[in-house]
């Protein structure tokens, strides 16, 4: 399930929806800061959870370029491929 | 023309929301003047100071005051230059030698502030080919130093050796240097880091370890060398960074180490080079405060007793504090409105503490952050606890 960008994106959405404060209508194109109302600390803490799920570490500078859930999924996919 | 301040709109809304709801602006408290280490005049009233970081009360040290006055009279009030140009006086070298001796290290560099000590040390030690592993709850100066360095930054879960080891294991093929950074006592919560466990891990994984003992210098350990001394793991810490603006009561920062490579840091650490050095009277006061601290180990004993008294007292009146008994005792509340109301009521009843709000706090919860001093009397602590209890009751907590 987490071998493709789409699979990782789906997993991220599932994790996000476990938080009742997150809007129900999110998809891969949802913007993490604007649509989910996450501040910088919330983003970093959420990414930590995903890192554990995929057994990769995302350097903080990579987060600067990430706006949507799909961007995050693509970044994680690249990092995971590099570790494989 | 694009409004240059448009980017601050979100901040403005949050700020106005907060200050409208509060009878006074929590970011503009003025201590009109301190009367002693533990009492100051705020809004014309004598107020108990429980949020100053002045752990040993040495901001009011007679010896430090005398040293500052004498030095200002004989050397003037500033150096007007960088440490690598005209800003190194004999006193700067003397303080570095004293600190190196105190920490039993070969080298010491003194910086103009504690913030710059982190910025200057981190940015000189690592670059884009290296990896920094930071405790998730690290101070802003550590995050800013990391940014200035250009190194890749990986966060590990707060005070969690297992999580750190997991992240290091993922980096086994990384060829650059790896530097782990943790704080001795965390400034917001008072939590104490398991530095001894981090030493085991860094040794196994070929990493360096830097400890920021800003809040534990002079406070923990038999001689006041901090958490590393208390946990018996000083030999495993590569770099110790800290500040003079807490236990020594002045201003400035330091980095001590046994690594000889640190000498070149003086020529590549921009926050060290491109700023004026500390004024001579501050250096003299800092040295005198260090001597005072060494001569009076009873201050540390008193501080621990006071920390335990405040921690137990706040728990007894039903407030939620951290588990670690340290001179930082933080009461955790649930909402910002509740914290703002509580903080105002404390001040109106003669007790000043720090109001700490998310995102500067862990877990997105507001804190009423207290810091205890050796200079507090048991009666002052009991009075503060009683006020906390009354206000908590008033707010139905």
Q: Can you give the pLDDT at residue B349?
A: 97
Model pLDDT, residue A34: 85
Q: Which two three-digit tokens encode residue B370?
A: 């207290």
What ipTM was predicted for this assembly? 0.89
| Residue B331 to residue B318: CA distance in whole angstroms | 10
Q: Check residue B283 and give its pLDDT.
A: 98
pLDDT given for residue A2 in this prediction: 67
Residue with tokens 């601050």: B8
Residue B143: closest CA among B105, B96, B181, B103: B181
- CA dist B139 and B178 (Å) reads 19
Handedness of CA A52, A54, A60, A65 (dihedral sign): negative
Contact flag A40-B364 (C-beta cutoff 8 Å): no
In order of start, what are the domains of chain A with their CATH numbers?
A: 5-83 (1.10.1200.10)
- The DSSP call for residue B313 is H
Residue closest to B86 by CA, chosen among B264, B245, B285, B280 = B280
Picking from A47, A55, A57 by the largest number of B CB atoms within 10 A of its own CB, the best residue to mutate is A57
Whether B168 has its CB under 8 Å from any CB of chain A: the answer is no
Contact predicate B253/B241, CB 8 Å: yes
In this structure, CATH architecture of domain B22-51+297-394: Alpha-Beta Complex (3.90)
pLDDT (0 to 100) of residue B361: 82
Q: Is beta strand B39-42 parallel, antiparallel or unpaired with respect to B45-49?
A: antiparallel
The CATH fold assigned to B62-295 is 3.40.640
Which among A41, A56, A58 has the least Cβ separation from residue B359? Answer: A41
pLDDT digits (tens), chain B, 397 positions: 999 999 999 889 988 888 888 899 999 999 999 999 999 999 999 999 999 999 999 999 999 999 999 999 999 999 999 999 999 999 999 999 999 999 999 999 999 999 999 999 999 999 999 999 999 999 999 999 999 999 999 999 999 999 999 999 999 989 999 999 999 999 888 999 999 999 999 999 999 999 999 999 999 999 999 999 999 999 999 999 999 999 999 999 999 999 999 889 999 999 999 999 999 999 999 999 999 999 999 999 999 999 999 999 999 999 999 888 899 999 999 999 999 999 999 999 999 999 998 877 877 789 999 999 999 999 999 999 999 999 999 988 8
| Domain boundaries defined on chain B | 22-51+297-394, 62-295
The 3-state DSSP class for residue B154 equals strand
DSSP-assigned letter for residue B278: P
pLDDT in tens, A10-62: 999 999 998 888 889 999 999 988 888 788 888 888 999 899 889 999 999 88
Tell me what pLDDT residue A83 has.
72
CA dist B336 and B330 (Å) reads: 15
Q: Is the dihedral of CA B142, B143, B146, B152 positive or negative?
A: positive
Say how far apart CA B371 and CA B392 lie, in whole Å: 19
Question: Is the CB of residue B344 less than 8 Å from the CB of residue B322?
Answer: no
B contact test, residue of A19, A40, A41, A64 with most B CBs within 10 A? A41
How many C-beta atoms lie closer than 10 Å to residue B121's C-beta? 32
> Between chains, do A41 and B364 touch, taking CB under 8 Å as contact?
yes
Confidence at A80, pLDDT banded by 50, 70, 90: confident
Say whether pLDDT at A84 is over 70: no
Minimal CA separation from B156 to chain A, in Å: 8
Q: Which of A39, A45, A57 is nearest residue B154 as measured by Cβ atoms?
A: A57
Structure confidence at residue B320 (pLDDT): 93
Spatial distance between the Cα atoms of B149 and B143, rounded to a whole number of angstroms: 10
Cis peptide bond prior to B245, omega within 30° of 0 = no
Q: What is the 3-state secondary structure (H, E, C) of A27-49?
A: CCCCECCCCCCCCHHHHHHHHHH
Structure tokens at B341: 């109301």
Chain A residue with minimum CA distance to B133: A59
Give CA B344 to chain center in angstroms.
24
User: Would the CB atoms of B153 and A41 count as touching at under 8 Å?
Assistant: no
* Tokens, residue B393: 């009751």
Of residues B154, B359, B364, nearest to A59 (C-beta): B154
Cα B236 from Cα B195, distance rounded (Å): 9
Q: pTM of the predicted model, to two decimals? A: 0.94
Query: Between chains, do B359 and A39 touch, taking CB under 8 Å as contact?
Result: yes
Question: Are residues A39 and B171, on separate chains, in Cβ contact within 8 Å?
Answer: no
CB A17 within 8 A of CB A43: no
The candidate with the shortest Cα–Cα distance to B186, out of B163, B216, B155, is: B216
State both tokens at B161: 């050796």
Contact B103, B293 (CB under 8 A): no
């Amino acid at each position: 399930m987490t071998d493709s960008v789409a699979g990782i994106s789906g997993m991220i959405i599932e994790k996000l929806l476990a938080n009742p404060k997150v809007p129900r209508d999110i998809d891969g194109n949802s913007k993490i800061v604007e649509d989910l109302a996450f501040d910088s600390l919330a983003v970093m803490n959420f990414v930590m959870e995903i890192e554990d799920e995929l057994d990769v570490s995302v350097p903080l500078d990579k987060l600067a370029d990430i706006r949507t859930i799909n961007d995050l999924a693509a970044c994680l996919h690249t990092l995971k491929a590099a570790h494989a | 023309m694009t409004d240059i301040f448009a980017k601050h709109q979100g901040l403005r809304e949050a700020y106005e929301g907060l200050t409208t709801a509060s009878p006074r602006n929590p970011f503009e408290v003025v201590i009109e003047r301190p009367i002693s280490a533990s009492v100051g005049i705020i809004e014309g009233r004598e107020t108990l100071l429980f949020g100053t970081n002045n752990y040993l009360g040495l901001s009011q040290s007679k010896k430090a005051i005398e040293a500052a006055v004498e030095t200002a009279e004989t050397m003037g009030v500033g150096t007007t230059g960088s440490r690598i140009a005209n800003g190194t006086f004999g006193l700067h070298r003397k303080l570095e030698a004293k600190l190196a001796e105190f920490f039993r290290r070969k080298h010491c560099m003194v910086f103009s502030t504690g913030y710059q000590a982190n910025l200057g040390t981190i940015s000189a030690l690592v670059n884009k080919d290296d990896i920094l592993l930071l405790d998730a709850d690290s101070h802003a100066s550590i995050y800013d130093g990391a940014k200035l360095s250009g190194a890749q930054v990986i966060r590990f879960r707060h005070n969690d050796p297992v999580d750190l080891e997991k992240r290091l294991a993922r980096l086994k093929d990384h060829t650059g240097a790896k530097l782990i950074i943790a704080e001795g006592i965390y400034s917001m919560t008072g939590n104490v880091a398991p530095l001894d466990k981090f030493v085991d891990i860094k040794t196994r994984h070929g990493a360096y370890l830097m400890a920021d003992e800003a809040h534990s210098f002079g406070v923990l350990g038999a001689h006041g060398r901090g958490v590393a001394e208390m946990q018996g793991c000083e030999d495993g810490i590569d770099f110790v960074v800290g500040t003079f603006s807490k236990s020594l009561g002045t201003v400035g920062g330091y980095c001590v180490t046994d690594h000889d490579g640190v000498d070149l840091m003086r020529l590549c650490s921009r926050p060290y080079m491109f700023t004026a050095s500390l004024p001579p009277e501050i250096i003299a006061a800092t040295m005198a405060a260090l001597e005072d601290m060494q001569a009076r180990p009873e201050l540390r004993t008193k501080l621990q007793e006071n920390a335990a008294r405040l921690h137990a007292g706040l728990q007894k009146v039903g407030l939620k504090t951290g588990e670690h008994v340290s001179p930082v005792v933080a009461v955790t509340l649930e909402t910002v409105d509740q914290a703002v109301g509580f903080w105002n009521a404390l001040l109106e009843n003669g007790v000043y503490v720090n109001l700490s709000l998310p995102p500067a706090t862990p877990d997105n919860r507001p804190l009423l952050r207290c810091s205890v001093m050796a200079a507090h009397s048991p009666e002052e602590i009991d009075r503060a606890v009683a006020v906390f209890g009354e206000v908590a009751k008033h707010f139905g907590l």
